[in-house]
Structure formats: structure tokens, C-alpha cells
A and B are shown apart, each in its own frame.
Chain A
Amino acid sequence: MQSDFKELTVKGLWSNNPALVQLLGLCPLLAVTTNVANALGLGLATLFVLVVSNVAVSLVRGLVSNAIRLPVFVLIIASAVTCTELLMQAYTFELYEILGIFLPLITTNCAILGRAEAFASKHAVIPAAYDGLMMGLGFALVLVALGAMRELLGTGILFADMQLLFGAQAETWRWVVFDDYQPFLLAVLPPGAFIFTGLLIALKNRLDQHFASNKIARAPIEAGSKRARVTGVIR
């Protein structure tokens, strides 16, 4: 059981990350990551919806027949999204206004339906909830990383407008990293989103390669294991 949770953590955050590996939910990923505040807001909303929908789908998995499972999943997700939307309208109204259409669009985020279909409908409540949490965290982390990159390069400032999410005391979090900075507008424009997402994916693949080659280099040589016969120099 312990190892299951560990595997779910690794999968959600890294090896099966919804944004970097499955490439699901690209529409909000590209559209709202112009700064950290927006990215974090949408990331948290998606995280919440993912956990709630995974729990609900897992609860009803014995009752719903196979033929109508997808409409039921979509209904569950849509209700969770509506709850999130009303909550955000009540507590973070300005952010709700900024995120606009991308909040209701969480319903159509393939990452959520994908987890409901591929994981929650086949597992018990607790693993399903944990999977939702980890997938949501993985997605939110990528959103925030992308938002930070684009905000920093596009405006030279980090954590602007955080008061929309955390109340008035967060206004002082605004950090002007570079004074007298020429804004690199491409970073906050749509093409910048594609380019920086591509660079993040490239970085992840490069790190994976690096880890894999380290693993091979460190693997112990076991006595008695068969070896291929090699001529020439072993590097």
C-alpha cells in the first residue's frame, strides 16, 4: 500500500505529469499562465475539481453501468466545477473575473476526465483521492512554473497581483526583480506560452535522460550475471 502511494506521487508529479507528459489541459495551461497569480488560481481550482471528481467517480463506480459512464463522469465534473466557480465568485471575485471563461472550461479539461476514466473508476476512494491530489499538484506546479517564467521575462516582476488570491496583506509580495527592465512582450503573448512550454518539456526530458544514464552507471555488477562480449574500449 505504501509503495502504491509512492508510485502515485512520482507519477502525478513527474513521470506521468498531466501537463508535461500527457500534454492534457493545454488550453488553460497556455491561456492563463501570464503571471503567477492567475496560474496559481487556476491550478488550485483544477486541483480541487480533480480531487472532488475523483472521489465522487470512485464512489459511484459500482453503480454506474459501463454504457453511460462518460456522461455521468462529465456531470460529476461539471458539478464540481460549478461549485468551484461559485466559491471563487464569492471569495476571490477579481481573480474570477480575470480567469473568465477558463474556469467553466475546467469541465472540458481532458486531464480530469482522463483521471476519472483511467484511474478513479477502477480504484477505491482513498487511492483515487490521492491520485487526484498528486495529478492536480503536478498540473498546478507546471502552471506556476510557466507563470513565473513568463511573468519574470515578460514584465521583470514576480508575484504581482497576489492580493487577488490571498487578500490585502499579499500586496507586499510583489517583487520587482529587475529595475529598469525592457519588457520581453513575446513571453506574455500566446507564442511565448508555446515556446516556454516546449522548453519546460525539453528540460524534463533532458533531466530524465540524465537520471537514466546515472542509474546505468551506478548499477552494481552482480556476480554470475551474463555479460555480452565486447571488443574495443568500454567507456
Chain B
Amino acid sequence: MILQQVSSPHLHAARSTEEIMLRVLLALLPGIITMAHFFGSGVFTNLVVACVAAVLCESICLRLRKRPVLIYLKDYSAVVTAVLLALALPPYSPWWLITIGALAAIGLAKHVFGGLGSNPFNPAMVGYVVLLISFPVQMTQWTAPSTLAANPTAWDSLLAMVGSEAYDAVTMATPLDLIRQNNGLMMSALWQHYPQFGRFSGVGWEWINLAFLAGGVWLVQQRIFTWHAPVGMLAALGLMSALFYDGGSSASGGSPLFHWLSGATMLGAFFIITDPVSGATSNLGRLIFGALVGLLVYCIRVWGSYPDAVAFAVLLMNFAAPFIDYYTQPKPYGHKPPDADK
């Protein structure tokens, strides 16, 4: 098999990268505000530190690669990567954690491979995975939602950012953690026992996911990306959970609604796997790419050893994107399929 190199840009619209990135940032706003409502000002300190670190790292890398710094900084791609990374990290993370993540995302995953448009892996997810396997303790502590425990004040979030020991946030296991750790209970017992569960999934998480869904749908309507990848992922995730969910026991992994509205599902479906660089290129390819991401997310969430799975699933499928592209290459109008003359 000969893999064909598909060079960027994959977008054929007459839009500039800058405009697309700004719209993506705008679409992330509802999700960010909802997250800040439930987890407090730590979300904003994460965002600020990540953006500063990413922009600094991007400028240094561009300088080292002898590219014009300002022109490339103005496409906002580093900021989008930083925002996605910051949203994936637990709120109130210390600055060094976020900075290492941003360095891995921008330096290692993006510029080592040749900058925007040449990276085979999603930079934000590389940064997240580097942090998750390096610092499992810090990365698996999520702050309790504001409806269950008082959120730290803005001053406390600054203290947490500089890594002060004096401050200790109230952390709770996330609903995905709880489902994975308890496999001998009925769902209703789980729901009664732990206050973290809300109407469909976790308190807060359901609203955060709905907010990201709203932003994502707006981007589809704006034709920033097509519906194929998100629909593929959500359909596969829903299908898998519907197949394995028996309606009551926690060993069967939760209902489709629970999986759709838990963890990073919507952020992943609309903002991560729709990355035009590291994903599949054709519409059919995107559908397959998204569906396989959804399948992997379900498998890792339910049978794997990590609580959430979007980052691993996306990175694994990034490996497979050229392969998917090879078999889903669209046929130009009027041409024969490649092996018709055999």
C-alpha cells in the first residue's frame, strides 16, 4: 500500500485561518462560562496560564525555525490549542503543570513536525496525554462542582496557580470515575449514594456538555466544519452504550445519555476530532474517523484503566487517519474508480 501525502490546507473555503480560529474560540465561550460557573475561577487561571505559555512557546519555536513570528501568531492557532488544553485540565492546576502541557503541545506535537498544517497528531491532546501519564495524581483530581461544595475564591485560585501548598481544593471523584470503580451496585443506588450524579450524568457535567454541544452546532451551521465527524463519534458512542447497557447495573457502563453528557464527550466531538489537520479529509473518511473515535472512547472508558478516554482515542485514530484517507478518496466526477480497468 502506498500512503498518499495529502498536503494542507484541507479547507477549501475562502476563509482565513485567523477567522476560523476566532470563530472556534467564540463557540467555546458558552462552554467556558458554564465550566467557570460550576468549577469556579480556576478555569480562568488555567486558560490564562495556558495561553501565555503557548504563545511564548510558539514565538520561540517560530524564531528558532526562522519564520516571521507575528504573522504566524496572528492565526490564533496556538491560542486555540492552549484553550482546548486548558479546558481538558482539572481547574486550579499549578502553573508548572499547565506550562509543561503547553510546551509539549506546541513544541513537541506541532513545531517538531513542521508547524500548523503538518502535525500528524492533535497538539492539545498530545499535551494532555503527556501530562496524564507523567503526573497522574494532579491530573485526576477534579474540583467538586459549586452546587456540592463552596468553590475556592479568586484569591485561592491564584494561590493554587502558583502551586502554593497552603491551599487545598475540595476534590471529588467524577461520575465517570464512580461508574468505573463501582461495578457491583445498581445505578439507582449509585445515584442515591453519591451527590455527584445529576439528572442524566454528573452535576455540572451535563450542562457543560450541553454548552459545548451548542457551540459546536453553531460552528456546523457556520460551515467551519461538516457534521460528519461529530455525528459519527456520538452515534458510535451511543450505539455502544445502548448495546452494553442493561438498564440498571453499574457494571454495564451507563446509558447513552450518560456517556453523551459525561466528561469530554462534546468537547471532543465538536472541537477536538474536527481538527482539519490531524483528522481524515473526505466526508466519508470523517464519518469513519469519528465513529472509530466513539468506539474507542467507549472501550477505554468502560474496560480501560483511565477515567476518560477522548485524548487516547483521538491520538490512536490520528495514526489511522492517513489509512482512512487512502481508502475513502473521493472519486472525481466522470472518472472511473481506480481499479475499474482490471
Contact = CB atoms under 8 A, between A and B. Distances in A.
Contacts, number: 19
Contact of A195 (B100, B108, B136): B108
Interface in B119-137: 130, 133-136
Most buried by B among A182, A187, A198: A182
Interface in A175-189: 182-187, 189
A4 to B, nearest CB: 39
A154 to B, nearest CB: 9
Please report whether the interface of chain A is mostly helix, strand, loop or mixed according to DSSP.
Answer: helix
Please report whether the interface of chain B is mostly helix, strand, loop or mixed according to DSSP.
Answer: helix
A190 to B, nearest CB: 10
Interface residues of A, number: 10
B29 to A, nearest CB: 32
Contacts of A195: 108
Nearest to A206: B64
Contact of B135 (A185, A189, A191, A198): A185
Contacts of B133: 185-186, 189, 191
Interface in B129-156: 130, 133-136, 138
Contacts of B130: 186
Contacts of A189: 133
Interface string A159-194: 000000000000000000000001111110101000
Nearest to B96: A182
Contacts of A182: 96, 135, 138
Nearest to B163: A182
A187 B136 CA distance: 14
A191 to B, nearest CB: 8
Most buried by A among B133, B136, B138: B133
A184 B135 CA distance: 7
B134 A184 contact: yes
A189 B138 CA distance: 18
A198 B112 CA distance: 10
A185 B112 CA distance: 21
Interface in A181-231: 182-187, 189, 191, 195, 198
Closest 6 CB pairs of A and B: A186-B134, A185-B134, A184-B134, A186-B130, A186-B133, A185-B133
